[in-house]
Amino acid sequence: MAKNNQIELTDAEKRDLTERIIAGKYLPEKYRFLLFEDKSEVELVWNGKSRDVCNTILPFQTLEHIDEPRKEKNANEELSFDSRGGQKSKWNNKLIWGDNKLILSSLRGGPLRRDIEEAGGLKLIYIDPPFDVGADFSIDIPIGDQTFHKEANVLEKVAYRDTWGRGSDSFIAMIYERLILMRDLMHPEGSIYVHIDWRLSGVVRMVLDEVFGAKSFQREIIWRIGWISGYKSTASNWIRNHDTIFFYTRSPENFTFNKEYIPYPSDYVRRDGNEPSGKGYPIEDTWNCSKMDIMDSIQIKSFSGEKTGYATQKNEALVERLMKASSNPGDLVADFFCGSGTTAAVAEKHGRKWICADLGKFGIHTTRKRLIQVQRELKKQGKPFSAFEVLNLGKYQRHAYIDVSHRLTGKIKEKALAAKEKEFRDLILKAYKSQPLLNDEFFHGKSGNRIVVVGPVNLPVTRLFVEEVISQCRQRCVTRCDLLAFEFELGLFPAALDEAKQKGIDLLTKIIPPDVFDRRAVEAGEVEFHEVSYIEATPRTDKKDPRTLTIELTDFSVFHQQGQAKKAAEELKEGKSTVICEKGNLVKVSKDKDGKINKEILTKKWHDWIDYWAVDFDYESRKEIIKRAKGFGDKGEKDVYTPEDGSFVDTEEVWSGNYIFENEWQSFRTKKDRELELTSASHTYEKKGRYIIAVKVVDIFGNDTMTLVPINIQ
């Protein structure tokens, strides 16, 4: 080993090293410790290990702001901010849709870091990552008296395959990078709980030791996950019935911990016959296994009202125990694999600020509904509740995808940008299973007998753009055209399609899904483009008061194409049935014992497609203001927070050109209540003038569509 800053090698080792280097061979692991200083006593090594982490910083796009749960129809109060609502606080809780690696990187170094620090810093993280290699992330959705089996979206599938593509190697690489980002985001006195099972508990413990330091390990909690059922009792080995939760802290010594107790039972007496004194039994690190813990069960029951249908859902009592122990009211907590939103729900009920993120859009939608229900219940009880906002990286992720080096200038930069945009456009065409058209200045591809146009990457398709598409089609005698875009201007449809039809053009407009950012999904041919959904909403003015109106949802059209009946029928076993989506309808496909195929349409009414809808009665009242590092668009993305010294780079506030949807009234289906109101509560405008009402609809797949309804108040 090295002494006095000199490397001590034997002559044989020196010859061996020289020969291997000249031959271009890898060096044996032992030379790592002989040649380099390394203070690690024990280290976990895996294929492709790297200490580099994502440092991309993108602004967050605010999609929706939810403060007031809603005004009930029989209430006398006006739609207004509640005195207990989150609008009084500078901090708004955050529900973020997207890749948590990009989210963590943007939180750690971006402008929101300042907001996190001003909110007291991130005191607690609980994560329950997808540790089950055989996990099924599909979910059953009730439609009438039938059930639709919804598969995970493409991004979730690809991310899951990527997580487990090389087995434990790829899972560890995924969680290692994210744990480093979480650690750097945490308050110096913060805590983290990592929920894992038997498959990887040993290696995850070593990863946590490496990221946080072995001295920061506090406890290994054993959680009994359920009662023994019949099939478990027949197991040929010890019955497996627990998960592991690792508890680490940023600082080995300075952290929050509130000791918790299980109350004594009502009939408990001491051995001397006296009543017990003290708070009860201190909770140990083995939960739901002892006789005493059964009294304080933290398991989720099959009949529990908190169940959302997610197979991996953890119960609120479990998260509540962790949250009460390692945070105080007012503290900021987070969950970056939030699933159906248990952490957010518990945080809201117990007065904590929160940040939650998930890759699954349906999970984000489920969490949104769950948090609105929590808001409603707290308001009903006269308790405080907080505002939250729904965020993603949206168009800024697209901006980063086609970005080029900012060292380039002038025509060289323009040429590089054009090449990057063409490369991205070709990727979209490949995902759409179409062929690029060479040397065409306007049309981009061809799919069968249809011409394909890809809209702008960073801007929504406007009416002028659609008119240009129609004009180009007429000039070239094109009668069938598909227009693909990430965003379409609100209020564009169905008028734009009617205009195209009147001019003899069959124009289809389709949304480019976020899946195109993942080349693996494109290469696998798994990207699905959905046609734009259409909302018809009608304002109904009060006859007695012209300034008071309601909004009635009068139509909703969907053209999702999730599966094909022919393929489903071929794979279906005799005597079985399945539910698929075909040509805008949910269809039950069944095969009898004779092999005969039968179809039954389940979505008998247009509103069967709707899971949730909401109204903003004055959409243009709140502009979306984003914080970014000065020079974001000119000098490139750069850190605005330096973890080493805790300093911030100057930021600026810029109007994005968008407005934030203020969720003032909403109706949605729950697991227990499947009814949907189609008319909103009334809203009264204080002043005369022109207003824009925004109506948002979320379908049963979790996809949202919005339309604008202009009105004049006299």
pLDDT digits (tens, 9 = 90+) for 542-563: 999 999 999 999 999 876 555 5
CA-to-CA distance for 423 and 6, rounded, in angstroms? Answer: 51
| Phi, psi dihedrals of residue 447, rounded to the nearest 5° | -130, 105
Q: Residue 298 half-sphere exposure, CB side, CA atoms within 13 Å?
A: 21
**To the nearest whole percent, how much of the chain has pLDDT over 90?**
40
Q: Say whether pLDDT at 40 is over 90.
A: no
Which residue type, as a one-letter code, is found at position 398? R
Look at strands 286-287 and 281-282 and give their pairing: unpaired
CA-to-CA distance for 250 and 236, rounded, in angstroms? Answer: 42
Q: Say whether pLDDT at 103 is over 80.
A: yes
CA-to-CA distance for 69 and 48, rounded, in angstroms? Answer: 48
Torsion sign, CA atoms 69, 365, 314, 124: negative
> Whats the size of the chain, residue-wise?
714
Torsion sign, CA atoms 569, 570, 573, 579: negative
For residue 436, say if its preceding peptide bond is cis, omega within 30 degrees of 0.
no
pLDDT tier for residue 614 given thresholds of 50, 70 and 90 = very high
Strand partners, 613: 667, 697
What contacts 455, CB < 8 A, 6 or more positions away? 461, 465, 483, 484, 485, 486, 488, 512
CA-to-CA distance for 626 and 141, rounded, in angstroms? Answer: 36
Mean pLDDT of 590-604: 83
Query: Contact 100/391 with Cβ under 8 angstroms?
Result: no
pLDDT tier for residue 84 given thresholds of 50, 70 and 90 = very low
Strand partners, 553: 537
Q: Say whether pLDDT at 301 is over 50.
A: no
Q: Residue 32 half-sphere exposure, CB side, CA atoms within 13 Å?
A: 10
Which residue type, as a one-letter code, is found at position 510? K
Q: Say whether pLDDT at 4 is over 60.
A: no
The DSSP letter of residue 607 is G
Q: Say whether pLDDT at 94 is over 90.
A: yes
Nearest to 651 by CA among 184, 112, 76: 112
CB-based burial label for 591 (10 Å; 0-12, 13-18, 19+) = buried
What contacts 271, CB < 8 A, 6 or more positions away? none
